[in-house]
Amino acid sequence: MTLDNDTPLLEVDNLKTWFPDGDRTVRAVDGVSFTIRRGETCAILGESGCGKSITALSLMQLVPAGGRIVSGEILFHGQDLLQYSERQMRTVRGNRIAMIFQEPMTSLNPVLTTGEQIAEVLQQHLGLKGDALRQRVEALLHQVGIPDPHKRQQDYPHQLSGGMKQRIMIAMALAAEPELLIADEPTTALDVTIQAQVLDLLRELQQQHHMAMLLITHDLAVVADRADKVAVMYAGQIVELAPREQFFAEPRHPYTRKLFAAVPGRGKRRQKLEVIKGSVPTLDREFSGCRFADRCEEAWPLCRERRPAWTVLDEAGEHGVRCHRYDPDVDFVPQVVPSRGVREAGAVDQPPLSTVLQTRDLKVHFPIRKGLFKRIVGRVYAVDGIDLNLYRGRTTALVGESGCGKTTVGKALLQLIEPTAGQVDYLGQELTTLGGARLRRMRKHLQIIFQDPFASMNPRMMVGNIIEEGMLTQGVMPDEAERTRRIDQLLEQVGLSAEARQRYPHEFSGGQRQRICIARALALEPDVIVCDEPTSALDVSVQAQTLNLLKQLQQDYALSYLFITHSLSVVEYLADDIAVMYLGRIVERGPVEQLMSDPKHPYTQALLSAVPTIEKQSGREVIKLEGELPSPIDPPGGCHFHPRCPQAMAVCKQAYPGVTQLDGEREVRCYLYEEKGRGTRDE
């Protein structure tokens, strides 16, 4: 097996995986070709439903029930895997080609210890036994950066955090030293700081073992950091394949270019984001032209008549694209219609700040009860003293890793969770002491948009009734005809047609559903909307539509948003102020420009540096955070961040730092700035 670097390890040629279903056939993967060399990372990039995961599963011949590989070749070391019997494939799977999945929570068997699960792979493929086996397991755990491997191998999956589980998955995948590792969205379920750790680990291991990697992701930024070459998939086909540098320097396919334009960021703050109109076509038909033609702003009649051929753009044959625009055989290529240009989101004159909602020392503690009489044995300090201001017409972003309590803040603000202590003041009205009918009336002014557009609408109600619910409850517009007109108007405002009113939620895509949810929240003409990760379940292009809509609505109605998110690029695009949360407390807050360009708190610095970005950055050193978010049941004494802080001092262990006011309305809670600040405030 001595292969030099130039011989491809894996060659996929014209792979087609179809799902026949009665008279219609879903062509999930429809003619995909690519190659991977040893030690190389190839990324497959695409939005949900484009067939990237099915491609990966086809390589392992693990196509889900109902699907089958109808044609193509998968040459691994020059041998066609499609000719292998199931028995032969078992010697390949896990041994020479290994796979890690997106969801570490469900990929491990909960009744076996981690050690046993890794040992199983070793026994299966290497036939190790006894002490040799145990030592190898420990070595592997050590390799993937699990502290104290000897003890940890006796742990069950539920005793480990998400990042740890993903490390165990990687250890299992690496156990038999595979030549090719397929990573299907390996970090999508993880927080940014953990994502950075896992991606680094993968890169190190890849270099050590000289292993090839197929990285499947929807995140352009992850690709920018790791891949050697990038394949963009759209509707079952690869539309562009290029080495990383060329890909980021000069993306060619209109779809790729649109994707880049749709990514939010600070540079696009005053603009509307580019959106790709329409949605991905259904794959249950033959295409007579280009699959992207209906959504492409540069399409001309030929695009709908003839299928574009694969065109190689450079001499090395590394950069190819599937578009008529670059095909030398196409005689006539029309000029690119100048897109309507960057649409200004309107002149932004900052109105004077007027506070709509403010919280003082808001606390939410969940009691832990045990025993027969439900005695309180402990508390989860989910939110532990938060001061926030929401201003009219402005967006305040609440940023933090999962489990830091940011969603709880949003719900406590709306009194959906009863706060344990503290005040929530809405235009002079104290909300925490309200109850019953008076609180119900106040709910008109405060609304919420949820993360999961699938769970946030009752599947048994028509869209019209869903939007109507709040109006009926609050007695807004008791006249039915008037109400109907208003619903139609709302639907049009969020970019849906009025006939949507008579349809059920399942008939809409994720992005459309999210817009219905926005319409529902708007129906009561609220002042404050809590947006709880409204775009994290959406694809980039759909996310752009939603962000544009939110921004437009804010301008039209002077809405205040509390934008809860873990995505810093969205924050940079949308927010005016940022509050960074760590373990139930806000560690730093301030206006977005200042905070993003000059973070003060060590946690903020680490968080920002961990975010992968598209722009090749130089000089920005990635601060690696050790460990993971501690449990809010038993937060570390002193500053909660000190066990992970690279700049921790002795004083950090003793007491939580007070608020330090910095220039330009910034606040930070860290001992590093206490004496430098203009004035300190006691806890």
> Using CB under 8 A as the criterion, which residues of the chain lie in contact with other proteins when the complex forms?
21-22, 66, 411, 414, 416, 439-441, 443-444, 446-448, 450-452, 455-462, 464-466, 468-470, 473-474, 480, 483-484, 487, 501, 504, 517, 520, 524
The least CB distance from residue 441 to other proteins, in Å, is 7
Among 329, 313, 315, 325, smallest CA distance to 241 is for 313
Burial 123-157 (b: 16+ CB within 10 A, else e): ebbeebeeeebbebbbebbebbbbeebeebbebeb
Between 376 and 439, whose beta carbon lies closer to other proteins?
439
- The first and second tokens of residue 273, run together, are 């984001």
Give the contacts of 444 (CB within 8 A, at least 6 positions apart). Answer: 470, 474, 476, 524, 525, 526
CA–CA distance, 83 with 246 (Å, rounded to integer): 36
Q: Which is nearer to other proteins, 137 or 414 (CB)?
A: 414
Give min distance, CB of 486 to other proteins, in A: 11
CB-nearer residue toward other proteins: 24 or 616? 24
State the minimum distance, in angstroms, from the CB of residue 130 to other proteins: 42
Max CA distance (Å), the chain: 82
Packed helices 114-126 and 130-143: angle between N→C axes, nearest 10 degrees: 120
Q: Which is nearer to other proteins, 135 or 473 (CB)?
A: 473
- Least distance in angstroms from the C-beta of 468 to other proteins: 7
Question: Closer to other proteins at the Cβ: 482 or 665?
Answer: 482
The answer to whether 341 and 297 have CB atoms below 8 angstroms apart is no
Strand ranges in 5-65 using DSSP code E only, listed in sequence order = 8-21, 24-37, 41-45
Q: Taking the complex as a whole, how short is the minimal distance between the CB of residue 195 and other proteins, in angstroms?
A: 25
Least distance from other proteins to the Cβ atom of residue 560, Å: 16
> Least distance to other proteins from the beta carbon of 334, Å?
43
Q: Which residue, 278, 314, 268, 187, is CA-closest to 547?
A: 268
Please, what is the minimum distance in Å from the beta carbon of residue 291 to other proteins?
A: 25
Q: What are phi and psi of 136, to 5 degrees?
A: -65, -40
C-alpha–C-alpha distance, residues 668 and 599, integer Å? 10
Closest CA to 533 of 569, 568, 563, 513: 563
The residue written with tokens 């947006």 in the block is: 531
**Contacts of the segment 286-293: beta carbons below 8 A, 24+ positions apart:** 287/235, 290/322, 290/323, 290/324, 291/234, 291/235, 291/236, 291/237, 291/239, 292/234, 292/235, 292/239, 292/253, 292/254, 292/255
Measured from the CB atom, the residue of 482 and 615 that comes closer to other proteins is 482
Which of 375, 440 has the CB closer to other proteins? 440
Residue type at 643 in one-letter notation: P
Rank residues 371 and 459 by Cβ distance to other proteins and give the closer one: 459
**Nearer to other proteins by C-beta: 451 or 569?**
451
Whole-number minimum distance, CB 448 to other proteins, in Å?
5
Cα dihedral: 431, 437, 442, 446 (round 10)? 90
Least distance in Å: CB of 526 to other proteins?
10
Edge-first strand order for the sheet with 585-591 is: 446-449, 528-532, 560-565, 395-399, 577-582, 585-591, 666-668, 659-662, 680-681
State in angstroms the smallest separation of the CB of 550 from other proteins. 17
Residue type, 554: Q
Alpha helices (H) along 34-144: 52-59, 86-92, 104-107, 114-126, 130-143
Q: Nearer Cβ to other proteins, position 249 or 472?
A: 472
Closer Cβ to other proteins, 362 or 446, answer by number: 446
Minimum gap (Å) between residue 403 Cβ and other proteins: 17
The nearer residue to other proteins, 318 or 480, going by C-beta atoms, is 480
Going by the DSSP 8-state scheme, the letter that residue 533 receives in this structure is S
Q: Is residue 124 within 8 Å of 83, Cβ to Cβ?
A: no
Cβ closer to other proteins: 332 or 373? 373
Q: How far is the CB of 106 from other proteins (least distance, A)?
A: 15
User: Cα 528 vs. chain centroid, distance in angstroms?
Assistant: 25
